[in-house]
């Protein structure tokens, strides 16, 4: 078991973590990234990415993340293939974290970039057809369904927002909800019900995603009426599961402030948590935008703030030493 000490310990290796690493390394912070169970983050489970700036042609999510990792390493980041299982925020700084490997990580600043995972229904066909007609992100994939028939599954704010967004691409959007009323805010419901391109299917549970991954992808949904138990099929080209996201914040429970949905709370407009030298960036603190480019943006902010935090500490220490000398 080894101990690794760094000026900047980054937990998570999605766009937020890698961008923090690039900026941190270039500022001389010699960062360590603990990559977790999904090196490269959520983009490694998708294919086409069309909205990351700088690429005119469609790029692949896993490729983009390999490039980010390579850039972070090139400028001096150490990558650790480990998963943090314990972290002590209360007694820092410096902050101590323990990996699944048994290794100990000491960070004079801590950048939390553990991301979030979309919640899925867990029914047959869903994972097999993911990226082949099934998605959890309309902003990411809506463009691929131009002029096609799409369904959105869910009844909260996310589902209504996804349905409204999809009307930019599709004239035939159906919101499918297992209850007879929505949980979404009233103003969003009003916009939804008034929209000519959106139909709502009430009291329908999705039991299966139909289609073959290698033969045209999603063809439709198998539905059961939650009131009558009647089974039916709904034909569509795309289905967006919009039942929320789960931020990866279990490690920080009781140690850092979280909102009702478990997202880390930061000072508005910054990646600063309430603890000195602890920063949160990317999807773990952002339930609104949830994009690779916004995650990268807040990763950059976290690294810049971490560097400034350490520089200020150093300055104060030097001043104090000068006075006592
Ligand atoms: C299928 C799909 C398609 C998408 N398509 C697009 C798109 O086209 N364009 C776009 O902009 N966005 C897209 N997104 C959204 C985008 O992927 C996310 O917004 C972005 O990845 C968030 O980056 P992040 O760095 O905050 O976290 P994530 O990418 O979620 O990465 C989190 C990282 O934290 C690590 N981690 C978690 N817990 C621990 C731990 N205990 N110890 C160590 N490491 C840990 C994980 O291993 C992972 O590396 C898509 C998302 C999905 C799921």
Determine the pLDDT at residue 116: 95
Active site residue 141: yes
Tell me how far apart the alpha carbons of residues 182 and 15 are, in angstroms, rounded to a whole number.
Answer: 33
Q: Does ligand 1 have an atom closer than 6 angstroms to the CB of 255?
A: no
- For the chain, which domains are there? 3-117+246-324 (3.50.50.60), 134-241 (3.50.50.60)
Q: Does ligand 1 have an atom closer than 6 angstroms to the CB of 293?
A: yes
| Residues in Cβ contact with 198 at an 8 Å cutoff, skipping those fewer than 6 apart | 163, 164, 167, 173, 174, 175, 192
Taking only the tens place, the pLDDT of each residue in 96-151 is 999 999 999 999 999 999 999 999 999 999 999 999 999 999 988 999 999 999 99
Tell me how far apart the alpha carbons of residues 75 and 201 are, in angstroms, rounded to a whole number.
Answer: 52
pLDDT mean over 187-201: 96
The beta strands (E) that lie in 59-135 are given as: 59-60, 78-80, 84-88, 95-99, 104-112, 116-118, 134-135
Q: What is the pTM of this model?
A: 0.88
Reading the block at residue 200, the tokens are 């709502």
Determine the pLDDT at residue 220: 98
Determine the pLDDT at residue 78: 98
Determine the pLDDT at residue 47: 82
pLDDT confidence bin for 323, thresholds 50/70/90: confident
Active site residue 137: yes
Residue of 11, 19, 34, 43 best suited for mutating to test ligand 1, as the one with most atoms within 8 Å of CB = 43
């Amino acid at each position: 078991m080894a101990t690794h000490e760094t000026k900047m310990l980054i937990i998570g290796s999605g766009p937020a973590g890698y961008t923090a690493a690039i900026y941190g390394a270039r500022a001389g912070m010699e960062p360590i990234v603990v990559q977790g169970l999904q090196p490269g983050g959520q983009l490694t489970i998708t294919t086409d990415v069309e909205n990351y700036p700088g690429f005119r042609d469609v790029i692949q999510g896993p490729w983009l993340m390999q490039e980010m990792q390579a850039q972070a390493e090139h400028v001096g980041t150490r990558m650790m293939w480990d998963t943090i299982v314990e972290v002590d925020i209360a007694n820092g700084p410096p902050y101590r974290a323990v990996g699944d490997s048994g290794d100990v990580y000491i960070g004079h600043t801590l950048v939390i970039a553990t991301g979030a995972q979309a919640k899925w229904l867990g029914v047959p066909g869903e994972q097999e057809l993911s990226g082949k007609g099934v998605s959890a992100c309309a902003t990411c994939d809506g463009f691929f369904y131009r002029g096609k028939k799409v369904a959105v599954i869910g009844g909260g704010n996310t589902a209504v927002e996804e349905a409204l967004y999809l009307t930019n691409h599709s004239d035939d959007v159906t919101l499918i909800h297992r209850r007879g009323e929505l949980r979404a805010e009233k103003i969003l419901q009003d916009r939804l019900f008034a929209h000519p391109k959106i139909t709502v299917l009430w009291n329908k549970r999705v039991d299966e995603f139909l289609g073959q991954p290698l033969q045209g992808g999603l063809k439709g949904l198998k539905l059961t009426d939650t009131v009558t138990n009647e089974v039916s099929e709904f034909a569509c080209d795309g289905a967006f599961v919009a039942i929320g996201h789960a931020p990866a914040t279990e490690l920080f429970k009781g140690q850092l402030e979280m909102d009702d949905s478990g997202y880390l709370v930061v000072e508005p407009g910054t990646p600063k948590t309430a603890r000195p030298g602890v920063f949160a960036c990317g999807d773990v603190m952002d339930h609104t935008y949830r994009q690779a480019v916004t995650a990268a943006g807040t990763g950059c902010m976290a690294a810049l703030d971490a560097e400034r935090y350490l520089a200020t500490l150093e300055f104060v220490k030097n001043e104090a030493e000068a006075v006592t000398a």
